[in-house]
Structure 1
């Protein structure tokens, strides 16, 4: 199969997690940059990446990388890209998104318009037609300028990959599924360890943890734009990826994954979403304030997205919430806590300085992923049979 360069965007600060996921799928990394990882793959890789990667927003098929400081230069260099390799005569194509950082060309609408004209001119010459019906498969094109270098790709995913299909009900300011997965994968948690989210909202952290525990591929129950690109990605690639995804699911596991919230509507949404994700049997959800967080066993994990005071709560209420979280955490035996928040007094109110923290951009909001590390559990030793 022909090799392509694929671009996987992610949250700034979480590139290493996505890189590890791609390597685990067996594909070669060609570049890691702020907010994206580029890798080499064939048509099967397009299907695999969309179905199995938990931490990327979408998969782009890279068509070119050009330097352009004028619109004439952008037109000519866009036109020089072999678009006929990707877009058939009946393909519906448009420049869906353009962004620009530290570049002379910065108007998204002008970039989109110039590039569309250039692609039309190229395909007119190649296909010897003057009008395109555009009633076939969709090919939304995305371009990103950084210091006058334009990276151009076609979106293979369509709807963002954070939309797994299970979150039918939500609450205000939910964390995205891709970000929740990435944060879980940043921790040493595994399916044999306890996980509690005391501010679970619509259940994203517990649901993503349960999907990781049961090895449920995030994209196995949804569709993708590139499924219609049969000239590029044979249907067999999708069948193979989805069959592998089904074979990997392990529902006969025991887990201790819990979610608490004080809002009954949030819990209603969480239960509905867990059922839709088919992991409701692996999660325990309960209405309970963070002050009542208890667990009898040691070495557990709190992984949570508490209120920031941006949209959900008055900032005046935050000190008490974080103080209660800190007190509950101190009463847990040998636990670790991982928490994403933009609240700048989080450590002060919790009453402990984090062992580590990592800056992560959640959309345009700068947040920190605070890591309060507990001791590692003792290694399990196998009992040797006496001779």
Structure 2
């Protein structure tokens, strides 16, 4: 059994915890972290199935250290040989916040030296470790003198699904897009519209959720080469993911954007992941949007109006969304924006609000639930 850490963007801990619990594991949450216990299968399932987590790491040790001697000895006392192969590569990255040991390069060097000493003794190696095998990225993270040592199982961040061939100037991470959809509880029963689709990320993640497609099915992970992961386990779990995907589920997803170039990019991205015929893309100004069914859902990340000259245009868009909502009371709408007066422009208080971050921009996710 391993202690597993799913890192999350701030504000999405509860979403990731719910995903982990759906895989069958009990969780505890901290700021930006969801922690749980599981075996090798849990590592594989987490990488393949978690939609909103950033990375899956293994916690090797947690302790307090205020001197470099303490950091060295307590790191060396941990069973690194239970994780890292005798020829494994283990670069060490680090960060330190509000801690006595504030020099990150020194902390990295000491942790590296301690692991080397431990592995040389465990594997009975007199000379240098070759480090020409699988990759085990170690991180030393120190917050208020509390040390957390982890190994990354994912490799590239989980937002890198493998389908985004191109993107716009300020793309939304796939993991955040998935979270926005999951917060709506939409599973494909009603029409889904993203009127500000950009490179198509929200619409694509919505399609993957509706058809129960594992977000990690189309990429590789660092831990696939580890000896602690039974051979063939990743392939076995990918086969299972393939068997439970509902590729024939009839869903109606519409995505539009005022920029014709972005529509072309979005269409190509959707085709790459197999949704070329599932998502309907159209170059269109939001003021042309009409709702033609009794109920449905709008999810979007519109322009925030932060550039000079954009404010009037953005406020006009927001007022039109309010008009649509007023005329179609059974529709639900979920909009993420940094615009502080969004509710006044919509002329309606949100049913629920959630603070989220799009990159480094603090935003609010305004949720309007349609009448039942």
Normalising by structure 1, we get a TM-score of 0.92
Decide whether aligned partners of structure 1 residues 364 and 106 sit closer, same or farther in structure 2, where only a CA change above 3 A counts.
farther
Q: Secondary structure at the match of 2:87?
A: coil
Give 1:343 shift: 1.7
Q: Distance in 1 between matches of 2:206 and 2:4?
A: 27
Which of 246, 264, 268 matches 2:264? 268
Which sections of structure 1, spanning at least 5 residues, go unmatched?
A: 377-387
Q: Which residue is 2:138 aligned to?
A: 141
SS at match of 2:317: helix
Cα-to-partner distance string for 1:102-127 (whole Å, 9 max, x where unaligned):
32223332322221122112222323
Report the Cα distance in structure 2 between the residues aligned to 1:20 and 1:298, rounded to whole angstroms: 30
Report the more deviating stretch, 116-125 or 300-309: 116-125
2:48 is equivalent to residue 51 of structure 1: yes
Q: Who is 1:9 aligned against?
A: 7
CA distance in 2, matches of 1:290, 1:92: 51
Partner residue, 2:173: 176
Question: Per-residue CA shift, 1:243-270, capped at 9, x if unaligned?
Answer: 1111011111111111110001110111
Change (3 A) 1:110 1:329: farther
Which runs of structure 2 are paired with 1:75-86 in the superposition (5 Å)? Answer: 75-86=72-83
Cα contact 1:307–1:313 (8 A) shared by 2: no
CA 1:207–1:115 in structure 2 vs 1: closer, same or farther (change >3 Å)? same
Please identify runs of 4+ aligned residues in structure 1 that moved more than 3 A: 309-317
Worse-superposed segment, 311-320 or 261-270: 311-320
Q: Distance in 1 between matches of 2:309 and 2:193?
A: 21
Distance apart, 1:351 and its partner CA: 2.3
Of residues 96, 103, 106 in structure 2, which corresponds to 1:107?
103
Structure 2 unaligned residues grouped into runs of 5+: none
1:248 aligns with 2:244: yes
1:198 match:
195
2:369 is aligned to 373
CA contact (8 A) 2:73 2:114 kept: yes
1:93 aligned counterpart, secondary structure: coil
Shift of 1:196: 0.5
**More displaced stretch, 289-298 vs 105-114:** 105-114
Evaluate the alpha carbon distance shift between residue 6 and residue 313 of structure 1 in structure 2; reply closer, same or farther with a 3 A threshold. Answer: farther
Match of residue 280 from structure 2: 284
Are the structure 2 counterparts of residues 316 and 297 from structure 1 closer, same or farther at C-alpha, using a change threshold of 3 Å?
closer
Q: Please tell me whether residue 130 in structure 1 is matched to residue 127 in structure 2.
A: yes
- The DSSP-based 3-state class of the residue aligned with 1:253 is coil
User: In structure 2, do the counterparts of structure 1 residues 139 and 237 end up closer, same or farther at CA, with 3 Å as the change threshold?
Assistant: same
Counterpart secondary structure, 2:294? coil
The aligned counterpart of 1:298 is 294
Deviates further, 309-318 or 149-158: 309-318
CA distance in structure 1 between the partners assigned to 2:308 and 2:120 by the alignment: 52
Match of 1:383 in 2: none
Partner of 1:385: none
Please list the CA deviations of residues 293-348 of structure 1 after superposition, one character each: whole Å capped at 9, or x if unmatched: 11211221111111123479844543223223323333334211111111222222
Other structure's SS at 1:116 match: helix
Cα offset, 1:53, TM superposition: 1.0
1:177-229 alpha-carbon deviations (Å, 9 max, x no partner): 11111111111322111211110000011100000111110011110000000
**Pair 1:28 & 2:26 matched:** yes
Contact residue 201 and residue 267 of structure 1 kept, 8 A: yes
Write the mapping of 1:333-348 to structure 2, written as runs, cut at 5 A.
Answer: 333-348=329-344
Asked if the contact 1:198–1:304 (Cα under 8 Å) also holds between the matched residues in 2, the reply is: yes
CA distance in 2, matches of 1:50, 1:158: 10
Distance 1:335 1:302 in 2: 8
1:362 CA displacement: 2.8
Q: 2 CA distance for matches of 1:256 and 1:214? A: 12
* Structure-2 separation of matches of 1:311 and 1:77: 51
Residues 309, 318 of structure 1: 8 Å contact kept? yes
Rounded to whole Å, the distance in 2 between the matches of 1:188 and 1:126 is 49
Structure 2 counterpart SS, 1:309: coil
